[in-house]
């Protein structure tokens, strides 16, 4: 039998009553989207499985919406998490929902609290499901001025941008920040976070997305299909969401002492030698669960300095369609699965 993260149940795991609910399922059961093998989106299947139970320091969250990220469809395609976890498993890291139960030792939340977060990353979290358990500090209270669908679009992408631009680069007012793929899931949030910190933002995006990005605060935009961002100079910070030849080309746009942060921690041939030659810094980041970072993001949302763009919303049962949409690389903002109507 599997637990809420798609793993075999451990001996001695708590079991609830088998009385059925109005949905026809026992209260210790839930729906989830699981896969048994690697492959195309059609390997994603809706199943009924055991509902997880919060242990020490954990909370059980009734998922209202789950965000979809590139790491989800990449994991599905290769049939393995970066940590080595193999099928069967339940994908998903972005969660917004309501606390259902709290485990022993939890003081941050109580049943009924609305929360959002990025639990357990990069280990399987199982967000494509009706319930999720995780350490309480992997969540934060949801801002009251956004709904669950909007909140589910935030955690992984906004934490990535925050940890790169604030924790790693420590961007300061007046600095010039170059954001690649500025209309993407991470990019459009990075633009807003940089602006909230007082930076001047340059973004690369197709021309059709320039008006949108100006509305989010971008100061200068480059159409990567017709213009060469490599002509830029005296950039203080580059957020590299693309990799490939973008990385060495971006290094040459930096002022001496500037920094490039790559969001591709496993990319081969990272040009450390070129960075040293140019007297700039180059580093790679892997986002991690971060209660303080989530609170900072929530504060920006509450002050209306940060708003995620939701490209597409689909019901949980249509997770395969969500992956198909994501793999087109043509979305503006995020794709979200609606779990509770």
Digit-coded pLDDT (tens) for 240-275: 999 999 999 999 999 999 999 999 988 788 999 999
- Give the three-class secondary structure for 320: helix
Q: Do residues 128 and 319 make contact, with C-beta atoms less than 8 angstroms apart?
A: yes
d(CA 64, CA 116): 10
Q: Dihedrals φ, ψ of 220, to 5°?
A: -145, 135
Helices (H) and strands (E) in the chain, counts: 9, 16
Digit-coded pLDDT (tens) for 199-220: 999 999 999 999 999 999 999 9
Digit-coded pLDDT (tens) for 289-319: 999 999 999 999 999 999 999 999 999 999 9
Name the residue among 81, 2, 68, 9 with its Cα closest to residue 38. 81
Burial of 271 (0-12, 13-18, 19+ CB in 10 A): middle
| CATH number listed for the domain at residues 29-154+308-338 | 3.90.180.10
User: pTM for the full model?
Assistant: 0.90
| CATH number listed for the domain at residues 156-284 | 3.40.50.720
pLDDT by residue, tens only, the chain of 341 residues: 344 444 444 433 333 333 344 455 678 999 999 999 999 999 999 999 999 999 999 999 999 999 999 999 999 999 999 999 999 999 999 999 999 999 999 999 999 999 999 999 999 999 999 999 999 999 999 999 999 999 999 999 999 999 999 999 999 999 999 999 999 999 999 999 999 999 999 999 999 999 999 999 999 999 999 999 999 999 999 999 999 999 999 999 999 999 999 999 887 889 999 999 999 999 999 999 999 999 999 999 999 999 999 999 999 999 999 999 999 988 888 999 999 86
- Give the three-class secondary structure for 43: helix
d(CA 186, CA 16): 40
- Give the three-class secondary structure for 254: strand
- How is the chain split into domains, by residue range? 29-154+308-338, 156-284
Expressed in angstroms, the distance from the first to the final Cα of the chain is: 28
By DSSP bridging, strand 220-222 and strand 200-204 are parallel
Can you give the pLDDT at residue 25?
Answer: 64
By DSSP bridging, strand 281-284 and strand 254-262 are parallel
Q: What is the mean pLDDT of the chain?
A: 92
Q: Based on C-alpha coordinates, what's the Rg of the chain? A: 20
């Amino acid at each position: 039998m599997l637990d809420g993260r798609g793993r075999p149940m451990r001996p001695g795991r708590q079991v609830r009553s088998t009385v059925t609910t109005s949905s026809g399922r026992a209260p210790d059961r839930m729906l989830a989207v699981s896969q048994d093998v690697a492959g195309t989106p059609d390997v994603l299947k809706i199943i009924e499985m055991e509902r997880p139970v919060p242990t020490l320091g954990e909370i059980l969250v009734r998922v209202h919406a789950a965000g979809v990220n590139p790491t989800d469809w990449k994991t599905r395609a290769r049939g393995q998490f970066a940590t080595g976890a193999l099928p069967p498993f339940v994908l998903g890291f972005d969660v917004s929902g309501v606390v259902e139960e709290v485990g022993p030792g939890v003081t941050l939340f109580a049943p009924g609290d609305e929360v959002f977060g990025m639990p357990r990353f990069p280990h399987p979290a199982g967000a494509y499901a009706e319930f999720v358990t995780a350490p309480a500090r992997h969540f934060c209270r949801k801002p009251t001025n956004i709904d669950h669908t909007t909140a589910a679009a935030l955690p992984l992408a906004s934490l990535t941008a925050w940890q790169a631009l604030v924790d790693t680069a420590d961007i300061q007012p007046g600095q010039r920040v170059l954001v690649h793929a500025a209309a993407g899931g991470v990019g459009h949030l990075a633009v807003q976070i940089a602006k909230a910190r007082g930076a001047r933002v340059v973004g690369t995006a197709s021309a059709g997305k320039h008006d949108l990005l100006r509305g989010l605060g971008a100061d200068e935009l480059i159409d990567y299909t017709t213009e060469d961002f490599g002509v830029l100079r005296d950039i203080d910070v580059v957020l590299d969401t693309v990799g490939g030849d973008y990385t060495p080309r971006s290094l040459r746009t930096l002022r001496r002492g500037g920094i490039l942060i790559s969001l591709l921690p496993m990319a081969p041939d990272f040009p450390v030698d070129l960075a040293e030659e140019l007297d700039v810094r180059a580093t790679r980041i892997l986002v991690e669960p971060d209660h303080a970072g989530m609170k900072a993001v929530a504060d920006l949302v509450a002050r209306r300095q940060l708003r995620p763009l939701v490209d597409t919303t689909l019901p949980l049962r249509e997770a395969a369609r969500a992956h198909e949409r994501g793999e087109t690389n043509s979305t503006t903002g995020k794709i979200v699965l609606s779990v509770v109507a």
